[in-house]
Amino acid sequence: MIAPIRETQRVRRTPTLRRAHRLLVSTLLPKSSHAADKAPPIPRWQAWLFTLWVAAVSATYLAHMLRLF
Amino acid sequence: MLPSLLSLLAFCCLAMASFGLGRPIVRGLGVGAEDRLSAAVWSIAVGSIAAGMLLVGLGLLGSLYVSVIGAMTMAACFWGLGEVLRGFLAAGDEALLKLDGSPEEPDTPVTPWALPARWLSGGILLLAGVACLGSLLSALAPPTAGDALCYHLELPKRFLAEHRLVDLPYHDNATFPLLAEMWYLWALAIEGGVCAQLVHWGLGVLLALATVVLATPILGRRWAWVAGAVVVLTPGINNQMTAPMNDVALAAMTTLALAAWWQAVVAQRGRRWFVLAGLAAGAALGTKHLALVFAAAWAATWIGTVLRRDRQRRLLLQGAAVVAVVALSVGGIWYLRAAWYRGNPVFPFLSEVFRTGDIAEVPRLETLPASKSPLGRDPVQLAVAPWQVTMHPERFGGRGHQLGVLLLAALPGLWFCRRLRGLGILLGVAAAYGVLWFMLRQNVRFLYPAVPPLCVAAVWVWIEMRRFPASARRVAAASFTVVLIAMAAVPLVRARKHLAVAVGIEDREHYLVREEPTYRAAAVANVLLGPDDHILSQDYRAFYFDRRVTRENVYRRRTRYDEDVCEPLELGHRLRRAGFTHLLLAETVAGEGIQYDSTLSRLADAQLSTRATDDLCKLTEYLFEDSDGAVRRYRLVELR
C-alpha cells in the first residue's frame, strides 16, 4: 500500500512577515518604472505656454474676485 | 450645541435609512459591489430615490404623517445598521481567507501613469475636507436662502401640514419636479429645516463620491479621489451645499447616471448597469426640469456612440430603451402631475407650446427671455463663454454660484494630453450640455452637471503635467496650489457668520431675527393668527410662517384683483371675500437689490391713509437691511 500523501499546510503570513517579504523583494529587485516615464516629454514650448496660461488666468481671476479691476 | 447635534443625528439617521433601503436593491441588481465605496454610494443613492418615491406614494394617498414617516425611517435605519454589521462581518471573513493580504483594489485599471504621491492626494483631500467643514458649519445655521424659503422648504412644509401632495394654484413652483423637496420633507418630518439643509450638504458629499466612482475606471482610484475633491472644492457647489436647493442634487444624480452608463457601454460590465443609469436619470428628471437638457445632451452623445460603434449597436439601443423606461417610471410622475393640474408637463415653461387656454395665466411666462441669456446666442460669444462665466459670474446668476478658475485654467491642457479611454465620451456629454446651456438659460449654477466630467478631465491634465520640464511643472503646480488653497479658504471664511449658531453660542431664534427678514413677521403671525388664517404676501419667503401664505404677484397675475379695486376702501373687502385674512407688505425704502412689485402696498397705503374705517390694522412694522443691500419695510396687516 502506498502511504497517503500528506496535504501541504499553507503558512499564514502575519503582517510582520509580509512587511519583511516586501522589504527583501524591494531590496533585491530593480525599481519599476511606469510606462509614463517612457512616454515622450511634452515639448518645452507647449509646457511653458500652458504654464503661462495657468498663471495668467489664475492671476486675472483673483484680481477680478478681489475687484482690483 | 445640542440643537446642532440633534440635527446631525437626524441627518445620520436619514443617511443610514437610505443605505438600508438601497442596499438590498443594489445587491439584488448584482451591480456596484466591486468595492465598499461603490457599494455604499450606489446603496445610498438608490435608497434615497426609493425613499423619495415612497414619500410621493404616501403623499398621493394622503398619508404624509410624521408618525408614519418616523416609523418607516426607524425601520429602514435599523435595517441599514444591520447591513453595515453584515458588511463588517463579511469583510472580516474575507480578510481571514485572503492569505496574501493584498489590499482591496476595486475596478481600478492598471494605469501606465504613476499614482499621485501620498502628500499630493492627501493634501488635496485635506483641502476638500476643510471646504466641506466650512460648508457644514454654514449648513448647521437655520436656513435663510431665498429660494429655499420660497419653495424648496415651503412646499414640503405645506405638503406635510396638509398630509398630501396638494395642488397650490397660486404657487408657480408647486408643479415642478419635487424629488429633492421630498427628501427635505423627510428631513422636516424627522427634525426640521437645518436637517433639510444637511440633506443637501450630504448630497454634495454624495456628488463628490459619485465623481470618484465615475473617475475610478478611467483614472484609477487614487486619482479619482483627487477628481472628487476638486468637485467639492468648486466654489458654487460648495456654497450650495449650505442651503436646501436642488442644483447639487441634480448634479449628483446626473453624475451617477453617467457613471452607470459608462460601466455598461465603455467597460461593458453588464446590462444591469443600464437599470442603475435609468434610476439615477429618473431621479435627475424628478429633481429639476434642467435634467431634460442634460438628457438631450446625453442622447446626442448616445446617438454619436451608436453611429461609431457598429458592434455595440444592439446593446446601445437596448440600453437606451431600458434607461428611458426606468427613468420615466421614476421621474415621469412629476410631469404627469404638472400636466394634470396645469395642462403643461413642464409648467411654467414652454407655455408657448402647451397652450391651455387658461386666461388666468395671461401674461404667459417667456421660456427663453433675453434677460436669461447675457451673452446672447451668437457663436462667437459661445467661444468666449468659458472666460466670461469664470471672470464675471455675477452676470450669470451671482458669484455665490461660480465655478472658480480651475477648470478654465486646466482644461486647455487637454490639447497636449494623450487620448484616454472613456474620457472623450464624458467630454462629449459635457460639451453638448454646455452648448445647450448657452442656447437656453445662461445661469452658472445650471452648469453643475457638467462639472464632474470636466474635473475628471482636469485631473488627467494634471497627470500629464508629469511629462513637463521640471521648471514649468513647478510653476504650473504652484499656480494650481494657490487656486486650490483659495477654494478651500472661501467656505471657511463664509462660515464665520454662522459659526456662533452652528456651535450653539448663539440661539437659532436670535440668529433668524438677525439674518432672516421675514422671521419677525412670521413670529408675530404664528402667535396671533388662527389655524385657518391666510396671508397674502409681497415677500416670497414663507417657510417660517405656520399659516397659509399666498404670493401676491402670482395671485395678481392670475386674478387681476387690483383692477377690481376702484376705490381705496374696496381693497380690504375684495381680499377678504377671496379668503385672505392678513397682508404681509414688503417694500424697498433704500438701497439696490430685488424690487418687489408695489401694487399691493400702494393699494393698502391708499386705504390706510383714508382713516375712514379700521378695516386694516397693523400688527407689526419694522425695517430690515437684507442681504442684497436693500432696506425693506415689513408690515403685517390684519384685514377686518
- Whether A51 sits inside 8 A of B409 (CB atoms) is no
Residues B467-515: tens digit of each pLDDT: 999 999 999 999 999 999 999 999 999 999 999 999 999 999 999 999 9
**Which residues in chain A have their CB less than 8 angstroms from residue B101's CB?**
13, 15, 18
Burial class of residue B120, CB neighbours in 10 A (0-12, 13-18, 19+): middle
Q: Which amino acid is residue B299, in one-letter code?
A: A
Q: What integer pLDDT is reported at residue B365 of this predicted model?
A: 64
> Who's near B307: CB < 8 A, 6+ residues apart?
none
Instruction: Provide the pLDDT for residue B230.
Output: 97
Q: Report which of B624, B461, B607 is spatially closest to residue B539, judged by C-alpha positions.
A: B624
Distance CA B57, CA B49 (A): 12
Type of residue numbered B609: S
Residue B381 C-alpha cell reads as 460669444
Report residue B359's pLDDT band, with 50, 70 and 90 as the boundaries: very low
B621/B608 Cα distance (integer angstroms) = 14
HSE toward the beta carbon, residue B310, CA cutoff 13 A? 0
Residues 4-63 of B with CB under 8 A from A: none
pLDDT for A30 equals 65
Shortest Cα distance, chain B CAs vs residue A1, angstroms:
35
pLDDT class for B111, splitting at 50, 70, 90? confident
Q: Give Cβ neighbours of residue B435 (< 8 Å, ≥ 6 apart).
A: B297, B382
Choose the closest CB to B113 out of A34, A42, A55. A34
pLDDT at position B6 is 96
| Shortest distance, CA B612 to any CA of chain A (angstroms) | 54
Residues in chain B closer than 8 A to A15 (CB atoms)? 101
pTM of the model: 0.90
Using CA coordinates, name the residue in chain A closest to B479: A55
Tens digits of residue pLDDT in B42-64 = 999 999 999 999 999 999 999 99
pLDDT digits (tens, 9 = 90+) for B516-568: 999 999 999 999 999 999 999 999 999 999 999 999 999 998 888 888 888 87
Give the tens place of pLDDT for each residue, A6-54: 766 766 777 778 778 888 887 777 665 555 557 889 999 999 999 999 9
Cβ <8 Å between A65 and B409: no
Cβ-defined contact of B114 to A47 (cutoff 8 Å): no
Q: Chain B partners of A55 at a C-beta cutoff of 8 Å?
A: 475-476, 479
Alpha helices by DSSP H, B266-344: 272-287, 290-308, 313-342
For residue B463, what pLDDT band results from cuts at 50, 70 and 90?
very high
At B377 the pLDDT is 87
State the pLDDT at residue B358: 54
Cβ pairs A/B, distance under 8 A: 88
Strands B534-537, B631-639: pairing is unpaired
Our CA-based measurement puts residue B373 at a distance from the nearest CA of chain A, in whole angstroms, of: 21
C-alpha B365/C-alpha B349 separation (Å) is: 7
* Residue listed under C-alpha cell 496650489: B481
pLDDT over 90 (residue B572): no
B98: pLDDT strictly greater than 60: no
Residue B482 at interface with chain A, using a CB cutoff of 8 Å:
yes
Mean pLDDT of chain B: 91
Whole-complex ipTM = 0.88
Query: Which residues in B48-87 are b (16+ Cβ under 10 Å) and which e?
Result: bbbbbbbbbebbeeeebeeeebeebbeebbebbeebeeeb
From the list B405, B412, B466, the residue facing A50 with the nearest CB is B412
Average pLDDT over every residue of B326-355: 90
Bridge partners, B621 (sequence order): B635
pLDDT band at B300 (very low <50, low <70, confident <90, very high): very high
Among residues 104-133 of chain B, which lie with CB inside 8 Å of chain A?
A: 112-114
- The answer to whether the CB of B555 falls within 8 A of the CB of B536 is yes
C-alpha Rg value of chain A to the nearest Å: 29
Which among A40, A54, A64 is the nearest to B480, CB-wise?
Answer: A54
C-beta atoms of A44 and B472 within 8 A: yes
B485 touches chain A (CB under 8 A): no
Report the alpha-carbon distance of residue A28 to residue A34 in Å, rounded.
19
Interface residue A63 vs chain B (CB under 8 A)? no
Q: Is A62 on the interface with B (CB under 8 A)?
A: yes
